[in-house]
């Protein structure tokens, strides 16, 4: 096996120390030793079939998925995990961005070289894998990271939570998800623990497995945590052997935390991060004030910049992401020369050091895992003949998800929510439509004449024509 | 079948917290139209199981199940019939 990859070297080192330790469990079980054999076989396949192109892995959580990730690295190829929901448009964009790529369907073990005549993209030497992200702008991009960044992320969990070889992580959420990849694969590689894989997250299956005590650690996102809590409402036994419930990719509301404590028996750890940086802030399952996001995980520096509060949250990590991949360049401009990455979020910090992320700095809203570009919503609303200007922002709802909030400038009081909503529905998918509407005769504006967006984001109250109806969540 | 479809539309709006009336949900291409991802799919399936008192088998769990209202409602109806026969 090619050991230029730090991920592969770390895996082999762990396999040397714990050859009979269980690396993967679930439908099939593999020791570190037997996993190494599988990875070697696949690496040969990728080496000859992928022809130097990056390897896109898609499919359900299977041992083949994990093997193919490490095999691609062992073959010296950049890995791009794609979700099962990847759209045709995203496949097409990928081809334009990276040229030829080898698609490996990890569910069925089938590989195809795609776009072989395309112009080959050259990646920097340290390139390990790319994760699709919308960043803070909502525009889909590929964030390029090194092998070291995944291992260092794993070490945050190793040192923060004490991951050990005896630990077993229930991996029911997709491994292509940045949060799960970092916690599960990164954590396993540096600690020697076991990954218990299920193809997908099914609440009653996860409930049964947790009651059987198969896992000491379970990563969840807020929606899956709610579903799991609902499954445990049957009054049966709580999970056995469970040490850590880690909820990432979304805030933990006080109500959700209460449900998790009541039904699953533990205070959940909170987790914040990005495809670009991996997990950076969080807690380890202690009780913290409502709304708090966490503190910097081991090895992470966090800073809140700017004079106003909330300010702009910056993160510095060892092995920062290498940049966004475009057809002609790797754009690393989001990371400053001294390594600070702008998260695109507003945040505050209290006297005890707890950081609270309060909202998005710029564009890019996130609701239930779906990304919404405010600019797209603004364009759709702005072409209504009675609308003179539009600002769309996000605001957190009771579940901690972004609500799409539209601020409409109009000279007429005849314009109703129904008018603009029906108009926007001609151009936007349903989930992008604003839930909250405000109408104004005159927007607050900067000296340059542009709408003063900070007034809308920071909840100031400029002169309004009338308040709108609000969503039922508020 | 129309009754099941209507109930499914309401369920989709409630579960996904969509800012539209149930009647505005189309017949097809729901995955894209409503932005349903893997977790959204499980939220929907869980609510469907509770509402219609059926069990969706793991082998049937797939985005294609919910992508078309015809397919989805036919599945629910078949499951209800099977449950009734068992009783």
Q: What's the pLDDT band for A114 if we cut at 50, 70, 90?
A: confident
pLDDT at A370 (0 to 100): 65
Q: Residue A429: list chain B partners with CB under 8 A.
A: 32-35
pLDDT at A148 (0 to 100): 97
| Mean pLDDT value of segment A369-383 | 81
Question: Is A90 part of the contact surface with chain B (CB cutoff 8 Å)?
Answer: no
Does position A81 have pLDDT exceeding 50, yes or no?
Answer: yes
Question: Is A425 part of the contact surface with chain B (CB cutoff 8 Å)?
Answer: yes
Contact present, A143 and A133 (Cβ < 8 Å): yes
Question: Is A417 part of the contact surface with chain B (CB cutoff 8 Å)?
Answer: no
Per residue in A155-190, pLDDT (tens digit) is 999 999 999 999 999 999 999 999 999 999 999 999
Q: In angstroms, how far is CA A232 from the centroid of its own chain?
A: 26
pLDDT at B4 (0 to 100): 95
Query: Each residue of A387-426: b (16+ CB within 10 Å) or e?
Result: bbbbbbbbbbbebbbbbbbbbbbbeeeebebeebbebbbe
Q: Residue B38: list chain A partners with CB under 8 A.
A: 83-85, 173-174, 200-201
C-beta atoms of A230 and B46 within 8 A: yes
Residues in contact with B14: Cβ distance below 8 Å, sequence separation at least 6, in sequence order: B47
Q: What's the pLDDT band for A383 if we cut at 50, 70, 90?
A: confident
Burial of A261 (0-12, 13-18, 19+ CB in 10 A): middle
C-beta atoms of A83 and B35 within 8 A: no
B64: closest chain A residue by CA:
A85
pLDDT at A428 (0 to 100): 84
Q: Which of B34, B43, B58 sits opposite A431 (nearest CB)?
A: B34
- Gap from A143 CA to chain B (nearest CA, Å): 21
Per residue in A270-311, pLDDT (tens digit) is 999 999 999 999 999 999 998 899 999 999 999 999 887 788
Stronger pLDDT, A381 or A450, i.e. the higher one: A381
Backbone angles phi, psi at A369, to 5 degrees: 85, -5
Q: Residue B32: list chain A partners with CB under 8 A.
A: 87, 429
Question: Is A132 part of the contact surface with chain B (CB cutoff 8 Å)?
Answer: no
Q: Residue B22: list chain A partners with CB under 8 A.
A: none
What's the CA angle centered on A237, arms A232 and A241, to 5 degrees?
100
pLDDT at A467 (0 to 100): 40
A60: closest chain B residue by CA:
B38
What crossing angle do the helices spanning A6-17 and A63-74 adopt, rounded to 10°?
Answer: 120
* CA-atom Rg of chain A in angstroms: 23
pLDDT at A134 (0 to 100): 67
Q: Residue B46: list chain A partners with CB under 8 A.
A: 203, 227, 230-231
A226: closest chain B residue by CA:
B43
Q: In angstroms, how far is CA B50 from the centroid of its own chain?
A: 11
C-beta atoms of A431 and B58 within 8 A: no
Question: Is A431 part of the contact surface with chain B (CB cutoff 8 Å)?
Answer: yes
Positive or negative, the Cα torsion across A434, A437, A442, A443?
negative
pLDDT at A468 (0 to 100): 42
Question: Is A60 part of the contact surface with chain B (CB cutoff 8 Å)?
Answer: no
ipTM above 0.85, yes or no: no
Q: Which of A85, A230, A473 sits opposite B17 (nearest CB)?
A: A473
Contact present, A247 and A221 (Cβ < 8 Å): yes
Other beta carbons within 10 angstroms of residue A276's beta carbon come to 29
The three state secondary structure string of chain A is CCCCCHHHHHHHHHHHHCCCCEEEECCCCEEHHHHHHHHHHHHHHHHHHCCCCCEEEECCCCHHHHHHHHHHHHCCCCEEEECCCCCHHHHHHHHHHHCCEEEEECCCCEEEEECCCCCCCCCCCCEEEEEEECCCCCCCEEEEEEHHHHHHHHHHHHHHHCCCCCCEEEECCCCCCHHHHHHHHHHHHHHCCEEEECCCCCHHHHHHHHHHCCCCEEEECHHHHHHHHHHHHHCCCCCCCCCEEEECCCCCCHHHHHHHHHHHCCCCEEEEEECCCEEEEECCCCCCCCCCCEEECCCCEEEEECCCCCEEEEEECCCCCCEEECCCCEECCCECCCCEEEEEEEEEECCCCCEEEEEECCCCEEECCEEECHHHHHHHHHCCCCEEEEEEEEEECCCCCEEEEEEEEECCCCCCHHHHHHHHHCCCCHHHCCCEEEEECCCCECCCCCECHHHHHCCCCCCCCEECCCCCCC
Q: Residue A432: list chain B partners with CB under 8 A.
A: 35
Stronger pLDDT, A309 or A152, i.e. the higher one: A152
Question: Is A471 part of the contact surface with chain B (CB cutoff 8 Å)?
Answer: yes
pLDDT at A135 (0 to 100): 55
Share of chain A above pLDDT 90, in %: 58
Other beta carbons within 10 angstroms of residue A240's beta carbon come to 13
CA dihedral A175, A261, A367, A406 (to 10 degrees): -160
pLDDT at A137 (0 to 100): 53
Question: Is A466 part of the contact surface with chain B (CB cutoff 8 Å)?
Answer: no
Per residue in A41-69, pLDDT (tens digit) is 999 999 888 888 999 999 999 999 999 99
C-beta atoms of B37 and A471 within 8 A: no
| Mean pLDDT value of segment A101-125 | 86
Does position A367 have pLDDT exceeding 70, yes or no?
Answer: no
Residue from A415, A437, A190 nearest A299 by CA = A190
Backbone angles phi, psi at A266, to 5 degrees: -145, 150
Does position A361 have pLDDT exceeding 80, yes or no?
Answer: no
Q: Residue A473: list chain B partners with CB under 8 A.
A: 17
Distance CA A143, CA A153 (A): 15
Per residue in A195-208, pLDDT (tens digit) is 999 999 999 999 99
C-beta atoms of A404 and B33 within 8 A: no
Q: Which of A83, A227, A425 sits opposite B42 (nearest CB)?
A: A227
Per residue in A236-280, pLDDT (tens digit) is 899 999 999 999 988 898 999 999 999 999 999 999 999 999 999
Q: Which of A369, A425, A434 sits opposite B40 (nearest CB)?
A: A369
Q: Residue A231: list chain B partners with CB under 8 A.
A: 46
Question: Is A140 part of the contact surface with chain B (CB cutoff 8 Å)?
Answer: no
- Gap from A435 CA to chain B (nearest CA, Å): 6
Contact present, A315 and A301 (Cβ < 8 Å): yes
Does position A32 have pLDDT exceeding 60, yes or no?
Answer: yes
Per residue in B8-39, pLDDT (tens digit) is 999 998 888 787 789 888 899 888 788 888 88
C-beta atoms of B61 and A200 within 8 A: yes
Per residue in A386-405, pLDDT (tens digit) is 999 999 988 766 666 677 88
Contact present, A26 and A198 (Cβ < 8 Å): yes
pLDDT at A466 (0 to 100): 42
Distance CA A319, CA A6 (A): 12
């Amino acid at each position: 096996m090619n050991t230029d990859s730090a991920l592969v070297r770390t895996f082999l080192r762990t396999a040397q120390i714990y050859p009979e330790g269980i690396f993967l469990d679930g439908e099939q079980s593999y020791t570190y030793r037997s996993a190494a054999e599988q990875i070697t076989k696949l690496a040969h396949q990728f080496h000859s079939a992928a022809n130097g192109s990056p390897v896109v892995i898609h499919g359900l959580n299977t041992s083949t998925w994990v093997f193919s990730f490490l095999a691609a690295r062992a073959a010296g190829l950049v890995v791009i995990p794609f979700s099962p929901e990847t759209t045709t448009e995203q496949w097409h964009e990928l081809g334009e961005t990276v040229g030829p790529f080898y698609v490996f369907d990890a569910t069925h073990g089938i590989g195809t070289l795609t776009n072989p005549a395309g112009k080959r993209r050259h990646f920097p030497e340290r390139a390990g894998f790319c994760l699709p992200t919308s960043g803070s702008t909502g525009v889909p991009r590929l964030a390029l990271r090194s092998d070291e960044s995944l291992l260092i992320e794993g070490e945050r969990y190793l040192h923060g939570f004490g991951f050990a070889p005896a630990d077993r992580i229930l991996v029911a959420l997709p491994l292509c998800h940045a949060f799960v990849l970092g916690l599960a694969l990164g954590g396993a590689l540096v600690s020697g623990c076991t990954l218990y894989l299920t193809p997908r997250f099914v609440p009653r299956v996860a409930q049964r497995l947790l009651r059987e005590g198969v896992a000491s650690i379970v990563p969840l996102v807020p929606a899956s945590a709610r579903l799991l809590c609902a499954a445990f409402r049957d009054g049966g036994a709580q999970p056995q052997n469970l040490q850590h419930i880690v909820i990432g990719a979304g805030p933990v509301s006080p109500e959700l935390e209460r449900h998790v404590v009541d039904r699953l028996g533990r205070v959940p750890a909170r987790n914040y991060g990005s495809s670009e940086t991996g997990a950076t802030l969080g807690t380890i399952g202690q009780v913290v004030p409502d709304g708090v996001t966490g503190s910097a995980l081991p090895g992470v520096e966090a800073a809140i910049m700017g004079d106003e509060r909330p300010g702009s949250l910056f993160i510095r990590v060892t092995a920062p992401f290498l940049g966004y991949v475009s057809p002609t360049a790797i754009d690393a401009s989001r990371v400053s020369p001294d390594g600070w990455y702008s998260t695109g979020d507003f945040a505050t910090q209290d006297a005890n050091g707890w950081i609270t992320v309060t909202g998005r700095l710029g564009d890019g809203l996130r609701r239930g895992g779906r990304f919404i570009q405010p600019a797209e919503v603004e364009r759709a609303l702005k072409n209504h003949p009675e609308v003179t200007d539009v600002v769309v922002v996000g605001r957190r709802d009771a579940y901690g998800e972004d609500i799409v909030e539209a601020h409409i400038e109009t000279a007429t009081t005849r314009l109703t929510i129904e008018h603009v909503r029906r108009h926007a529905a001609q151009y936007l998918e349903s989930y992008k439509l604003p839930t909250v509407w405000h109408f104004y005769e005159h927007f607050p504006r900067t000296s340059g004449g542009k709408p003063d967006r900070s007034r809308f984001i920071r909840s100031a109250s400029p002169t309004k024509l009338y308040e709108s109806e609000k969503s039922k969540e508020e | 079948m129309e009754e099941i479809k209507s109930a499914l539309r309401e369920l989709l709006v409630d579960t996904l917290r969509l800012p539209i009336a149930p009647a505005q949900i189309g017949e097809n291409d729901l995955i894209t139209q409503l932005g349903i991802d893997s977790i959204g799919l499980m939220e929907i399936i869980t609510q469907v199981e509770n509402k219609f008192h059926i069990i969706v088998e793991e082998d049937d769990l797939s985005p294609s199940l919910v992508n078309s209202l015809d397919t989805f409602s036919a599945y629910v109806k078949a499951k209800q019939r099977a449950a009734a026969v068992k009783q």
